[in-house]
Structure formats: structure tokens, C-alpha cells
Structure 1
Amino acid sequence: MSPTSQLPPTPDFDAIETAARDAAATAARGDVFTLIGQMSYSWSNNESLLVYFIMLLLRCDRASALIVFGTLNTSRARVDLVQRLARVKLADRALSGELKRLMARFESGTRLRNDLLHAMFTVNEAGEITQTHAMRLEERAKGLRFGAAKPMDGARIEAIRHEIQAMNELNRDLWRFLPGLEAHLRTVEARGPRPGA
């Protein structure tokens, strides 16, 4: 008796590819791929701006900030650096609070971006993307959970569209924030070091 395989059944690729050639299925998949591309584009533009936060907070040139940015190989590490530097460099509570809110908005977009880019996609017989399976472990009170599935339905598509818009608005807000951060840090530098610093 042969052992039962733990693998899922191999997809019927020929049937899926034939169905995917259908104009409606192709358009639906194209819409999902376009949204994922737009999400990635908007998120990347925001992450890239962290270079300027690092440059201002470390009081270094752009090349040095790019080296620090590139050396930290995750967005989480880059955000952590910006937040930690802000704790010791920003004397203005309002400015510090706004920076925290901006970083929280970026992290919200990061969660959705990671959810889409680090997932396995399930396709039905018609070639339509029906759901995603997260390719990460989640620690829960009752143990570990792997591969949480989420439907790629109208509500999820709308949530992705909403987050793309939020990422685009965040980009404008980051650009608006940077000149104020620069001015504040120049003022602090002109005053000299704080006693005990």
C-alpha cells in the first residue's frame, strides 16, 4: 500500500490556462495584478522617502543616508531607526507625534503590501484568483497558525484600492512633513547640545 501524499492535488494547468484566455477571466486577473502593482509602487515611493528622514535625523549627506538605508535590509529596521532617532533628536512634541502617526500609516500599508507580495494565490477552474494564502507563521494563544487564507472578493479589492489611495496621500504628507523636520533640526542644532546630552 503506497503512502497517502501530503501534497495538494496538482492543478490542471491546461484547463486553467484555457479558461484564463477567456476575456472576462483575463480582465479580472489583470485588475488584481494592476492593483498589486499600484500598491507596490505607492508603498515603494513612501519607503524611499525614509532616506531623507535618516539624512536629516543623522545630520549626514544623502550618500551616507543611502548607505545606512541600504545596510538596513528591512523596512521594519528602517522605520525603527527613524523612530529611535526621532526620540533623541526631536524636542518638539507635536512634531514627534506627527512623525509617529506618519510611520504608523506607513506600517499599515506595509502589512497589506506584505500580505499581497508574500502570498500564494489560488486560482479556480475559470482562471480567476479566488483567494490568497499568507506564507508566514502567526503566533496565537492556542499555538501557531500557518497560511491564513483570505478571499479575493469585492470587499478585498475595495480594501486594496482604499490602501493605495491612503499610500498616495501619505506620500504627499511625508513630503509636506520633511521641510518642517529639517527646519526644527536646524533650530535645535543652532541652539547647541542640551545639558546632559
Structure 2
Amino acid sequence: MPAMQEILLLVGRLNYVWTNTESLFIYLISHLMGTSKEAAIVVFLTLNTTRARLDLIERLAKLPGTDPADRAQIEAFAKRLGREGKLRNKYNHCIYSFDETGERAFTQLMRISDVSDDIRYGKIEVLDEAEMERINATISAVTAVNRDIWGFLNAHGIKA
């Protein structure tokens, strides 16, 4: 069973690679809108959720003036990040608990489920080695998207 410090460091890494990658949306927005980096920053910061930013990028990519090859790449970036975002959201919207030794870890999801005449909330799950592997896989996948976005930006002569 992973220890508290190991878990918190891993979740921190997950958040770091995610926010670092999401910040590259600024350059995609600038490119797709044909606007300055500063204007793209305003748009990026005005949209306060990842989902809204992904939606914007996907919609801009679908505009008629977008090169079909660019559209396909940008849509692929968005799809890959959307898929990885599920696990990231889980670990950003839960409560962590540890046993008295700090060795057994649990997450409690902060989500309400309406089930028939009842509501359920706070599903508790063990954070074990298998789950740590899933977090590491997500970190690797987001890092790969980051590199691919950098490749796209470099291929288009976009300086970050």
C-alpha cells in the first residue's frame, strides 16, 4: 500500500503536468483565433474550467477556415485530454484519508448520485498500487499530449 507522502507527491505531479499542458491552450487559442497571445490569455482565463477551454478549442478548430490537418490534430489533443481528465478530476475532487500509520490510503468522492428515491454521496475507495499505476499512466499520457502540442506549435512557428 502506498504511503501518504508518495500519494500526495504523485497527485501533485498529476496536477502539475495537467496545468502545464492546459496552459498550452493559450497558444492554440491564439493560433486558431488569429489573435495575440495577450488576447488568448484573456480568453483562457475568462473560461474557468478545463471543459470550457476544451470546448472552445474544439469549436474553433471546426471553423471553416481551419486547415483540416490542424483540425484533426487539435481534436485529437482535446479527445485525449478529455479521456485523461476523468482520473484527474477524481483526484482533484475527493477527500483523502489515511490510517493512523499513514500507510493505508482512501479517497472519498465528493459527488452526489441520485438513485431512485435516495441520494448517495462520498463513495470511499482504497488507493492501492493498482490505482497508483493508473495515476502514473495518466501522467504519462498527459505528458505525451504536452509533447505533441509542442510539436504542433513548433511546426507552425508558434513561439511560446
- Report the identity percentage: 34
Instruction: State the SS of the aligned residue for 1:126.
Output: coil
1:46/1:106 contact within 8 Å kept: no
Normalised by the length of structure 1, the TM-score is 0.71
How many aligned residue pairs are there? 156
Label 1:140 to 1:45 Cα distance change in 2 as closer, same or farther (>3 A): farther
1:43/1:109 contact within 8 Å kept: no
Q: How does 1:13-32 map to 2 (within 5 A)?
A: 28-32=3-7
Bigger Rg over Cα: 1
* 5+ long unaligned stretches in structure 2: none
Shift of 1:173: 0.6
* 5+ long unaligned stretches in structure 1: 1-24, 184-197
Root-mean-square deviation over aligned CA pairs = 2.3
Shift of 1:141: 8.3
For the pair 1:55 / 2:30, whether they are aligned, the reply is yes
Instruction: State the SS of the aligned residue for 1:40.
Output: helix
2:4/2:98 contact within 8 Å kept: no
Question: Separation in 1 of the partners of 2:152 and 2:93?
Answer: 31
Among 155, 160, 164, which residue is 2:130 paired with?
155
Taking CA–CA contacts closer than 8 Å with sequence separation of 6 or more, which of the two structures ends up with the larger relative contact order? 2
Residue type of the alignment partner of 1:90: T
Question: Separation in 1 of the partners of 2:34 and 2:25?
Answer: 14
Q: Which residue of 2 aligns with 1:76?
A: 51
Question: Separation in 2 of the partners of 1:114 and 1:35?
Answer: 14
2:94/2:110 contact within 8 Å kept: yes
Q: Which residue of 2 aligns with 1:113?
A: 88
2:95/2:110 contact within 8 Å kept: yes
Q: Which residue of 1 aligns with 2:78?
A: 103
2:11/2:91 contact within 8 Å kept: yes
Shift of 1:139: 5.9
Instruction: State the SS of the aligned residue for 1:122.
Output: strand
